[in-house]
């Protein structure tokens, strides 16, 4: 048995003057076995290998720190174990959270996820789609940009397994995972009405082309009406500070017990009079609530509001981003099981990769309603699971004083 690693006279076909990465031939030569045996070892067919050979191969692999070439493997077997993950917005904590689940599931399934940030640009999405075809990705998990994309339509029609994430796309009939938006929106509407809110604002970025936003809006409005409340839908442009201000003004005008809102409302109702606000009134139970279509939408609103509850205004949002836990803003939230969503996306996809031929499946998940102070009818009433609020923003948080 030969032990020299840099040997130049291969017992095999090759000429092997070595400069580069070790191949299976090198391992075979060093171990003094045929490459077939090495291949078998690599593929776990250990039962058909004598312990002696197995040991020699193991040693050789370690000595060379050999790693099988996945490209060559993929070429031969026709499966690269690569899957593409296209995310419309990696800035959104939701995307990263789902990614965590995807990566964990991929690890278990022996898949390699290729994360691609399409940054809400349709041409980036098609570019990555093309690139992934080129690398023979075995499947795709796509959180699509909210615009029609011929490349995506083609993929949906053509052979490559495809799972849509959070959003569906008209004309693409494939597996999908996401929140049960209808149920979550109804749940939230019920919670708000149950707690005495009568005027309900739904705030969202443009939702014409984003299915999840559409579903949330429709269900929230419907349920609110059903329960006798008055819903309004506000479209916000997060890139435009004026738009954010406008939304706050609109909501503020409807908020009765708030100074600014009251002034604004009064001024609006009767611009000439400038009636001073009546000093005392019945206890100011909140009656106006605002529900944001996702965490990214709520953030600028909460910031503009100083990250703390305002008397007379209930705040709620889809998603439960990290900063909500830091802020004692009393913002009620609908937490998505992002990790599970990611895991299930991979499961659905992997089944297709393994050859499953079935009609499109959709897996939806329930949101967890996390009630916080601003949407409770009576702040004084004790309620389990309610987080404490910070009445005055002194330097030292109330919890430590």
Partner DNA sequence: TTGTAAGCGTTATCAT
Partner DNA sequence: ATGATAACGCTTACAA
68-97 positions binding DNA, by CB under 7 A: 68-69, 72-73, 75-78
Residues 6+ apart with CB under 8 A from 390: 308, 328, 397, 398
Task: Please check whether residue 162 is in contact with residue 125, taking contact to mean a CB–CB distance below 8 angstroms.
Answer: no
- Which listed option, a second copy, DNA, none, makes contact with residue 232 (CB within 5 to 8 Å by class)? none
Strand ranges across the sheet with 199-204: 230-235, 199-204, 288-292, 313-318, 332-335, 368-370
Q: Which residues pair with 143 in a beta bridge?
A: 87
Q: Does 306 bind a second copy (CB under 8 A)?
A: yes
223-282 positions binding a second copy, by CB under 8 A: 241-242, 244-246, 248-249, 251-252, 255, 258-261, 264
Q: Does 20 bind DNA (CB under 7 A)?
A: yes
3-state secondary structure of 106: helix
Nearest of 260, 253, 264, 256 to residue 281 by alpha carbon: 256
Task: Please check whether residue 142 is in contact with residue 86, taking contact to mean a CB–CB distance below 8 angstroms.
Answer: yes
Q: Does 10 bind DNA (CB under 7 A)?
A: no
- Which listed option, DNA, a second copy, none, makes contact with residue 39 (CB within 5 to 8 Å by class)? DNA
50 or 225: CB nearest DNA = 50
Distance in angstroms (rounded) separating the CA atoms of residues 118 and 86: 6
43 or 206: CB nearest DNA = 43
Task: Please check whether residue 114 is in contact with residue 143, taking contact to mean a CB–CB distance below 8 angstroms.
Answer: no
Nearest of 12, 373, 377, 357 to residue 197 by alpha carbon: 377
Q: Does 133 bind DNA (CB under 7 A)?
A: no
Enumerate the H helices of 122-229 as residue ranges. 122-134, 150-157, 181-194, 211-226
Q: What are phi and psi of 111, to 5 degrees?
A: -110, 155
To the nearest whole angstrom, how small is the minimum distance from the Cβ of residue 258 to a second copy?
6
41-60 positions binding DNA, by CB under 7 A: 42-43, 48-50, 52-53
15-34 positions binding a second copy, by CB under 8 A: 20-21
Which of 3, 5, 9, 21 touches DNA (CB under 7 A)? 21
To the nearest whole angstrom, how small is the minimum distance from the Cβ of residue 372 to DNA?
53
Which of 18, 35, 136, 232 touches a second copy (CB under 8 A)? 136
Residue span binding a second copy (CB under 8 A) among the ranges 24-32, 62-70, 169-177, 275-283: 62-70
Q: Does 36 bind DNA (CB under 7 A)?
A: yes
Residue span binding a second copy (CB under 8 A) among the ranges 77-85, 184-192, 222-230, 375-383: 77-85
Task: Please check whether residue 8 is in contact with residue 41, taking contact to mean a CB–CB distance below 8 angstroms.
Answer: no
Q: Does 186 bind DNA (CB under 7 A)?
A: no
73 or 362: CB nearest DNA = 73
Residues that bind DNA (rule: CB under 7 A) add up to a total of 32
Residues 6+ apart with CB under 8 A from 40: 46, 48, 49
Q: What are phi and psi of 82, to 5 degrees?
A: -95, 135
Distance in angstroms (rounded) separating the CA atoms of residues 196 and 359: 44
- Which listed option, DNA, a second copy, none, makes contact with residue 53 (CB within 5 to 8 Å by class)? DNA
Task: Please check whether residue 291 is in contact with residue 188, taking contact to mean a CB–CB distance below 8 angstroms.
Answer: yes
140-159 positions binding a second copy, by CB under 8 A: 154, 159
Residue span binding a second copy (CB under 8 A) among the ranges 38-46, 108-116, 166-174, 381-389: 108-116
44 or 278: CB nearest DNA = 44
Which of 18, 35, 54, 133 touches a second copy (CB under 8 A)? 133
Distance in angstroms (rounded) separating the CA atoms of residues 189 and 179: 16
Q: Which residues pair with 314 in a beta bridge?
A: 289
Give contact residues for DNA (rule: CB under 7 A): 12-15, 20-21, 23-25, 32-37, 39-40, 42-43, 48-50, 52-53, 68-69, 72-73, 75-78
């Amino acid at each position: 048995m030969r032990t020299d690693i840099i040997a130049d006279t291969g017992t095999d076909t090759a000429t092997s003057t070595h400069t580069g990465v070790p191949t299976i031939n090198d391992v075979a030569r060093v171990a003094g076995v045929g490459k077939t045996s090495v291949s078998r070892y690599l593929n776990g067919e250990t039962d058909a290998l004598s312990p002696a050979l197995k040991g020699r191969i193991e040693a050789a692999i370690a000595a060379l720190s050999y790693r099988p070439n996945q490209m060559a493997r993929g070429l031969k077997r026709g499966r690269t174990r690569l899957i593409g993950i296209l995310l419309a917005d990696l800035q959104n904590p939701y995307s990263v959270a789902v990614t965590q689940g995807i990566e964990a599931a991929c690890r278990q399934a022996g898949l390699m996820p290729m994360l691609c940030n399409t940054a809400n640009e349709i041409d980036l999405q098609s570019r990555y789609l093309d690139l992934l075809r080129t690398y023979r990705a075995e499947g795709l998990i796509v959180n699509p940009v909210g615009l029609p994309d011929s490349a995506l339509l083609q993929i949906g029609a053509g052979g490559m397994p495809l799972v849509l994430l959070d959003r569906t796309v008209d004309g693409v009939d494939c597996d999908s995972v996401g929140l049960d938006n209808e149920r979550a929106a109804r749940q939230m509407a019920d919670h708000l009405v149950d707690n005495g809110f009568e005027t309900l604002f739904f705030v969202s970025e443009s939702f014409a082309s984003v299915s999840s936003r559409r579903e949330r809006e429709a269900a929230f409005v419907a349920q609110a009406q059903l329960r006798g409340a008055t819903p309004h839908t506000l479209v916000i442009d997060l890139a435009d500070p004026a738009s954010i201000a406008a939304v706050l003004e609109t909501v503020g005008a409807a908020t009765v017990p708030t100074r600014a809102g009251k002034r604004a409302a009064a001024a609006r109702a009767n611009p000439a009079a400038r009636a001073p606000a009546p000093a005392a009134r019945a206890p100011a139970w909140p009656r106006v609530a605002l529900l944001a279509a996702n965490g990214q939408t709520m953030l600028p609103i909460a910031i503009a509001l100083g990250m703390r509850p305002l008397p007379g205004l209930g705040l709620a949002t889809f998603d439960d981003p990290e900063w909500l836990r830091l802020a004692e803003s009393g913002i009620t939230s609908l937490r998505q099981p992002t990790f599970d969503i990611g895991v299930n996306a991979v499961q659905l996809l992997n089944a297709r990769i393994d050859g499953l031929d079935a009609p499109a499946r959709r897996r939806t998940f329930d949101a967890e309603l996390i009630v916080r102070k601003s949407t409770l009818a009576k702040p004084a009433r004790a309620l389990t699971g309610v987080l404490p609020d910070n009445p005055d923003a002194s330097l030292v948080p109330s919890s430590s004083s």
